[in-house]
């Protein structure tokens, strides 16, 4: 902030007569004062150079945002843009502020006096300035008291309370006076204010253990009942929770439990209201009722009611699935389709299938992160919101948070979920525009059968021993479009393949527990091993986690294994992509071994190169190397 501090002094500030300048404003808060000062400052002919500089200083002080709940840093910048920001207290030199104390004390407007004296206290640690600021904040809060426009009043009372508390023993009397004013305001409204003034003030009184908490509980209940009558059930829920806190402070366990039950029932009423309202429906109702179930479980004796509500929640979640609407956009994939068909058309069956296996690659983790951050840059607000991930039956299986600025670790759930979403979009286009057209072209041209497929995968070292028939049936079903069969065979065979690859490279696929029990390691653990990373590459591992096991992703393995995916879901793009992935792993690794045998003039697969070496050659860039051959 570029101010000429040599021009700013008490005499010039006094000549401006700030109280007089601002006496015609309609609202008595710093935001309104700042706008008026800015307007007056533009009238350059009216002011001397020193006065204009003083007006700029006044505007800078008034620009700061009051964070009353942060006693160590109560003022922050109004805006931050890159490396630039508006004023904060540290911008004002201590020596200049000390010389302005008498002027600040002389201001008659309590809002102005509170702001300048508070800044002086923060920078110069002047005890008289702090005392004066507390007094001024009280006066300003009383002037701003309003049952509906309550936030300004509350902020000033909270700042006065926390400032006086920070003065230690010297501020004890002031702190009691502030608490007395807060209690008096609560007594005046008695829960009749239509929003949150009583709630926020009562929380301050409870925090500082001041006043009759039993009486505050009655005020909170009155506010909750009024909110329910107005069908504002969220506010009712908050006030019942406040009543519970008041009863807890009074040592009344029964009263606390009753209030918590009422709070949970308010959410039930909100869910019922949402279910009937256009634009909200079962999906919103299920989300609210889920919170109600959790709240009821915390209530003493509320387990039976929670179970009853959970049954209702399951019905709403099932209904909510029917409310999901597809979001679509038009993409011209003609060129992609033509290229895919050209890659397999008029070719021998082995070349056509190999071309199908090599016409796509796993999405790049680095590219997915870049896409997520680019979207967040454009859609800032959406990137900050948390979300709910639903399974095939509408149950909430994960709640990814908003995207943190600069998040780079894919393990961060907000980033990971968004990367999975982008990957799934690309996967859908790949399936619809490339893989499925090529599959159908091969099927029509060659009428693929078991012998054809068996010859294409017979040398693959990635097919686990004893699984060849299961893999063959899964691949044949997929080629013929029988996704009901393929969808149930592919996920477990992909897991078996991963387990076999990790084990053949020397990785541990089991655990040894006390008593000699050796359970198998879950697929998620296997995919995090060094062996899996070496075999599939970082992009391939991320793709398998998304496709098969991560609740933030497609989670296909669990959806199929637990019977959650219905028949129509098995014909989706994700199942066909998983089928193609299994085909790709088997066909490409088989071709590499076959080629090595031919080059070495080896008569049988038993004399093939070391399996781990083959896997090194076959991952993760096997597409490019093999396609070049």
Query: What is the arithmetic mean of pLDDT over 536-542?
Result: 95
The gap from C-alpha 298 to its chain's centroid, in whole angstroms, comes to 25
Question: So what's the pLDDT on residue 613?
Answer: 43
The whole-number average pLDDT for the span 124-147 is 97
**pLDDT over 60 (residue 467):** yes
Could you give the percent of the chain with pLDDT greater than 90? 76
* Neighbour count for residue 46 (Cβ, 10 Å): 11
| Cα–Cα distance for residue pair 57/13, rounded to 1 Å | 10
575 has a pLDDT exceeding 90 = yes
Each residue's pLDDT tens digit, 185-236: 999 999 999 999 999 999 999 999 999 999 999 999 999 999 999 999 999 9
pLDDT interval class at 102 (50, 70, 90):
very high
Pairing of the two strands 80-81 and 65-66:
unpaired
Which range among 63-67, 381-385, 530-534 shows the weakest confidence by mean pLDDT? 381-385
pLDDT at 620: 41
Assigned CATH topology for domain 212-323: 1.25.40
- Burial code (b: 16+ CB inside 10 Å, e: under 16) for 405-424 equals eebeebebbbbbbbbbbbbb
The number of CA neighbours under 13 Å toward the Cβ of 590 is: 21
Residue 162 has pLDDT above 90, yes or no: yes
> What is the average per-residue pLDDT within 391-396?
77
pLDDT band at 238 (very low <50, low <70, confident <90, very high): very high
- Can you tell me the mean pLDDT for 28-36? 95
Give the mean pLDDT of 85-112.
Answer: 95
DSSP-assigned states of every residue in 254-314: HHHHHHHHHHHHHHHHHHHHHHHSTTTHHHHHHHHHHHHHHHHHTSTT-HHHHHHHHHHHH
The closest alpha carbon to 393, from 291, 316, 328, 487, belongs to 316
d(CA 456, CA 350): 7
- Nearest-angstrom CA–CA distance, 55 and 256: 53
CA–CA separation, 146 and 138 (whole Å): 14
- Write down the pLDDT at residue 163: 97
Q: How far is CA 486 from CA 28, 195, 473, in A?
A: 71, 57, 8
Q: Is the pLDDT of residue 445 over 80?
A: yes
In this model, does residue 346 exceed pLDDT 70?
yes
Q: Is the pLDDT of residue 59 over 50?
A: yes
Tens-digit pLDDT profile for residues 433-442: 999 999 999 9
pLDDT at position 324: 67
Q: What is the pLDDT of residue 615?
A: 41
Question: Which residues make Cβ contacts (< 8 Å) with residue 401, sequence separation at least 6?
Answer: 386, 413, 414
Distance, CA of 81 to CA of 502 (rounded, Å): 49
Asked whether residue 248 carries a pLDDT value surpassing 50, the answer given is: yes
**What per-residue confidence (pLDDT) applies to 334?**
86
For residues 16 and 10, the answer to whether their CB atoms sit within 8 Å is no
Q: How confident is the model at residue 381 (pLDDT cuts 50, 70, 90)?
A: confident
Residues 6+ apart with CB under 8 A from 188: none
What is the helix (H) or strand (E) element at residue 390, kind and residue range?
strand 389-390
**Statement: residue 544 has pLDDT above 90:** yes
Please choose, from the candidates 129, 173, 177, 127, the residue with its C-alpha nearest in 3D space to the C-alpha of residue 157: 177
pLDDT of residue 622: 47
Average pLDDT over residues 111-124: 97
What's residue 612's pLDDT? 44
Buried residues in 431-440 as b, exposed as e (16+ CB within 10 A): bbbbbbbbbe
Q: What is the pLDDT of residues 308-328, one digit of tens each?
A: 999 999 899 888 878 766 655
Mean pLDDT along residues 108-128: 96
Question: How far is 346 from 349, CA to CA, in rounded Å?
Answer: 9
Determine the average pLDDT of the residues in 177-183. 97
* CA nearest to 29, candidates 118, 115, 158: 115
Q: What are phi and psi of 123, to 5 degrees?
A: -90, -40
Q: What is residue 45's DSSP assignment?
A: G
The upper half-sphere exposure of residue 558, i.e. CA atoms within 13 Å in the direction of its Cβ, equals 19
- pLDDT for residue 589 is more than 90: yes
Highest mean pLDDT among 80-94, 532-546, 561-575: 532-546
pLDDT for 385 equals: 77
Residue 325 has a pLDDT of 67
Answer yes or no: is pLDDT of 453 > 80.
yes
Looking at residue 327, its pLDDT comes to 59
Please report the pLDDT score of residue 511 as a whole number.
Answer: 86
pLDDT of residue 144: 97
Residues of the chain with CATH 1.25.40: 212-323
DSSP 49-96: HHHHHHHHHHHHHHHSEE-TT-SSS-EE-S-EETTEE---GGGS-HHH
**Cβ neighbours around 86 below 10 Å, total:** 17
């Amino acid at each position: 902030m570029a101010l000429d501090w040599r021009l700013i002094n008490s005499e010039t500030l006094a000549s401006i007569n700030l109280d007089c300048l601002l006496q015609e404003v309609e609202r008595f808060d710093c935001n309104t004062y700042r706008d008026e000062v800015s307007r007056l400052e533009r009238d350059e002919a009216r002011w001397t150079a020193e006065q204009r500089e003083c007006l700029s200083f006044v505007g800078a002080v008034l620009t700061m945002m009051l964070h009353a709940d942060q006693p160590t840093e109560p003022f922050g910048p109004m805006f931050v843009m890159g490396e630039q920001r508006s004023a904060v207290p540290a911008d004002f030199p201590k020596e200049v502020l000390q010389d302005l104390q008498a002027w600040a004390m002389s201001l008659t407007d309590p809002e102005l006096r509170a702001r300048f004296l508070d800044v002086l206290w923060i920078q110069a640690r002047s005890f008289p300035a702090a005392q004066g600021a507390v007094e001024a904040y009280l006066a300003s809060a009383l002037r701003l008291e309003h049952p509906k426009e309550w936030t300004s009043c509350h902020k000033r009372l909270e700042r006065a309370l926390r400032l006086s508390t920070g003065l230690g023993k010297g501020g004890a009397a002031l702190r009691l006076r502030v608490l007395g004013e807060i209690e008096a305001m609560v007594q005046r409204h008695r829960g009749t204010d239509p929003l949150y003034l009583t709630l926020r003030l009562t929380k301050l009184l409870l925090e500082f253990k001041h006043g009759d908490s039993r009486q505050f509980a009655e005020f909170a209940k009155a506010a909750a009942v009024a909110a329910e009558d107005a069908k504002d059930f969220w506010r009712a829920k908050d006030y019942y929770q406040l009543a519970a806190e008041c009863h807890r402070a009074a040592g009344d366990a029964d009263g606390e439990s009753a209030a918590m039950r009422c709070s949970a029932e308010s959410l039930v009423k909100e869910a019922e209201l949402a279910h009937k309202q256009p634009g909200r429906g079962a999906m919103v109702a299920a989300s609210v009722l889920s919170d109600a179930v959790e709240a009821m479980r915390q209530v003493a004796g509320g387990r039976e009611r929670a179970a009853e509500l959970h049954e209702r929640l399951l019905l709403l979640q099932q209904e909510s699935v029917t409310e999901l609407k597809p979001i679509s956009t038009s993409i011209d994939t003609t060129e992609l389709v033509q290229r895919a068909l050209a890659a397999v058309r008029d070719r021998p069956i082995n070349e056509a299938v190999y071309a199908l296996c090599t016409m796509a690659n796993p999405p790049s983790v680095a590219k997915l992160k870049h896409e997520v951050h680019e979207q967040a840059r454009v859609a800032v607000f959406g990137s900050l919101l948390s979300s709910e991930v639903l399974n095939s039956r509408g149950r909430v299986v994960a709640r990814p948070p908003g995207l943190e600025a600069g998040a780079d670790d894919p393990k961060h759930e907000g980033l990971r979920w968004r990367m999975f979403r982008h990957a799934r979009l690309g996967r859908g286009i790949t399936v619809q525009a490339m893989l499925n057209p090529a599959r159908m072209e091969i099927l029509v041209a060659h009428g693929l059968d078991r012998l054809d497929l068996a010859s294409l995968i017979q040398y693959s070292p990635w097919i686990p021993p004893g699984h060849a028939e299961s893999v063959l049936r899964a691949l044949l079903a997929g080629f013929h479009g029988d996704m009901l069969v393929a969808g149930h065979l592919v996920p477990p065979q992909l897991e078996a393949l991963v387990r076999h690859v990790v084990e053949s490279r020397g990785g541990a696929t089991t655990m040894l527990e006390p008593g000699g029990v050796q359970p198998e390691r879950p697929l998620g653990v296997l995919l995090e091993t060094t062996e899996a990373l070496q075999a599939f590459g970082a992009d391939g591992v991320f793709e398998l986690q998304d496709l098969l096991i991560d609740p933030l992703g497609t989670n296909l393995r669990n959806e199929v294994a637990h019977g959650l995916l219905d028949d129509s879901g098995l014909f989706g793009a994700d199942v066909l992509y998983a089928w193609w992935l299994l085909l790709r792993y088997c066909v490409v690794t088989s071709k590499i071994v076959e080629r090595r045998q031919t080059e070495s003039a080896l008569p049988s697969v038993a004399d093939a190169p070391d399996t781990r070496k083959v896997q090194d050659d076959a991952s993760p860039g096997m597409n490019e190397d093999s396609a070049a051959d």
